[in-house]
Amino acid sequence: MAGRLEGKIALITGAASGIGLGAVELFVAEGACVVAADMQDEKGAMLERRFPDRVRYIHCNVTQEADIARAVALADSQFGGLDILFNNAGHGGSTTGVADMDADGWDATFALLVKGPAMGMKHAVPLMLKRGGGSIINTASIAGLQAGFGPLAYSSAKCAVIHMSRCAAAELSPQRIRVNAICPGLIATSIFGASMGLSREVADQMAARVAEMGGKVQPIPKAGAPDDIARAALYLASDDSVFVTGTHIVVDGGITIGGRSSWDPTAGSPFLEALGISAEQAAEMRAAMAAAKAG
Ligand SMILES: NC(=O)c1ccc[n+]([C@@H]2O[C@H](COP(=O)([O-])OP(=O)(O)OC[C@H]3O[C@@H](n4cnc5c(N)ncnc54)[C@H](O)[C@@H]3O)[C@@H](O)[C@H]2O)c1
Q: What tens digit of pLDDT does each residue of 20-53 get?
A: 999 999 999 999 999 999 999 999 999 999 999 9
Number of domains in the chain: 2
Q: Which residues are catalytic?
A: 154
Confidence (pLDDT) at 104: 98
| Pairing status of strand 55-59 against strand 84-87 | unpaired
Q: 3 in a domain, yes or no? A: no
As for ligand 1, residues whose beta carbon falls within 6 Å of it are: 13-14, 16-20, 38-40, 60-63, 88-91, 112, 139, 141, 184, 186-187, 189-191, 194
| 17 touches 190 (CB < 8 A) | yes
Confidence (pLDDT) at 211: 94
Q: Are residues 264 and 161 in the same domain?
A: no
Q: Indicate the top mutation candidate among 11, 19, 25 to test ligand 1's pocket, ranked by most ligand atoms within 8 A of CB.
A: 19
Beta-carbon count within 10 A of 53 CB:
6
| 47 touches 212 (CB < 8 A) | no
Cα torsion 240, 159, 112, 201: sign: negative
Mean pLDDT of 171-194: 97
Report the separation in Å between the CA atom of 138 and the middle of ligand 1, taken as the mean of its atom positions: 12
Report the separation in Å between the CA atom of 178 and the middle of ligand 1, taken as the mean of its atom positions: 22
Residues 188 and 46: their CA atoms lie apart, in Å, by 21
Q: Are residues 161 and 29 in the same domain?
A: yes
Q: Are residues 283 and 209 in the same domain?
A: no
Please give the single-letter amino acid code of residue 154: Y
In the DSSP assignment, the letter for residue 17 is S
Task: Give me the domain span that covers residue 267.
Answer: 259-295
Q: Are residues 131 and 22 in the same domain?
A: yes
Q: Band the pLDDT of 247: cuts 50, 70, 90.
A: very high
Report the separation in Å between the CA atom of 16 and the middle of ligand 1, taken as the mean of its atom positions: 9
Identify the residue whose C-alpha is closest to ligand 1 atom 17.
191
Please write the tens of the pLDDT for every residue from 123-168: 999 999 999 999 999 999 999 999 999 999 999 999 999 999 999 9
Q: Are residues 264 and 182 in the same domain?
A: no
Q: 2 in a domain, yes or no? A: no
Q: Are residues 290 and 195 in the same domain?
A: no
Q: Does the structure show a pLDDT above 90 at 273?
A: no
